[in-house]
Amino acid sequence: MKYGAGAALAIAVVLPLVVPNAYYLEILTQAYVFAISACGLNVILGFAGQLSLAHAGFFGIGAYTVALLATKAGVTFWAGVPAGIALSAVIGFVVGSICLRSKGHYFAIFTMAVGLIINLIIQKWESLTHGHVGVIGIPGPGAIGPIHFESGIARSYLALVCLALTLVATTRLLRSPVGRTMVAVRESEPLAAAIGLDVMAAKRLAFTISAALAGLAGGLYAGFIGFLGPESSNIEMTFNTLLYVMVGGIGSVVGPVAGTFIVYGLSQVLQVLQHYQMVIFGLALVLLILFMPKGLAGVFRRPSTQPTPLAESASLRAGSSKKGDK
């Protein structure tokens, strides 16, 4: 595992230097950014087992915070991104406190509505967000001392550093007592509550962290791309992120990153398939769930090293009445 992580890090560090041109460098940077968002979704879905469909909403909140602070108030990227993370986290905390009282299907439907409300507000609040026109001319990251961020390579490394920090943070989270509680909630919420774990606190923390990471990814996205439209927060964005997590392996720390690279990379490189992209993605999502519910991480992981994520909890639950766990 340690060698694997070292090798992955080495590849990640070298990658921005060896990509053939600026176009691929841009894709690589985007992949790092979306991987951060996928790691965020993985915290609430993979660790705590709650399907949140509001994820792109928080990505949008982070992105629009950076964009609007920069274009309307002259706030720099460096101050805007933390502000975006903070706003996403605060809204995530409030929304999570309310939504997480609903369980299972209700939680998924509730968060889908929340994501839609965020997206509709961004679309319709034209005096603030310029609606469908979007925000243009968002300044990128300025220089810190001698380090400049105009070049694609520098931005790519900036995204990579953020991704690395995200991975360290989520790994530590998973190994901490509260991370263990999240996994316990995923495996069986009634059981976790019965042995005295604070189920709600763990779920709320998972949701807040997930929103904060989406906000970070959104902020980076806005600064790097330079323009921003409401589609950055729409439900399709949530689906894409969900696919990244599912392909890589739900619940595994590095799985979502691998999933992002494979899915996002393929979708960008195989431009010929542009029209059929969502046809393939939709089908892939269904087939994955049916035949490979643990994603690539499930294929490569040696058996019995980790508690298996969703499949096993289901067999536990299948014994009890389906109506009971609502």
Residues 303-322 that bind other proteins (CB under 8 A): 310-311, 313-315, 317-318, 321-322
- Supply the minimum distance, in Å, between the C-beta of residue 313 and other proteins: 6
Q: Which stretch binds other proteins (CB under 8 A): 19-27, 204-212, 256-264, 271-279?
A: 271-279
Burial class for 155, CB neighbours closer than 10 Å (0-12, 13-18, 19+): buried
User: Apex CA 93: angle with CA 88 and CA 94, to 5°?
Assistant: 105
3-state secondary structure (DSSP) of residue 114: helix
Q: Which stretch binds other proteins (CB under 8 A): 13-21, 197-205, 209-217, 269-277?
A: 269-277
- Contact partners, residue 164, CB within 8 Å, separation at least 6: 9, 12
- Supply the minimum distance, in Å, between the C-beta of residue 13 and other proteins: 33
Residues 168-207 that bind other proteins (CB under 8 A): none
Cα 95 from Cα 211, distance rounded (Å): 10
Q: Is 246 in the site for other proteins (CB under 8 A)?
A: yes
Q: Is 300 in the site for other proteins (CB under 8 A)?
A: no
Cα 8 from Cα 257, distance rounded (Å): 11
Burial 226-265 (b: 16+ CB within 10 A, else e): eebbbebbbbebbbbbbbbbbbbbbbbbbbbbbbbbbbbe
* Per-residue binding letters, 82-121, with other proteins (x by CB under 8 A): ----------------xx-xxxxxx-xxx-xxx-xx--x-
Site residues (CB under 8 A) for other proteins?
Answer: 45, 49, 51, 98-99, 101-106, 108-110, 112-114, 116-117, 120, 124, 235, 239, 242, 246, 275-279, 281-286, 288-290, 293, 310-311, 313-315, 317-318, 321-323, 326
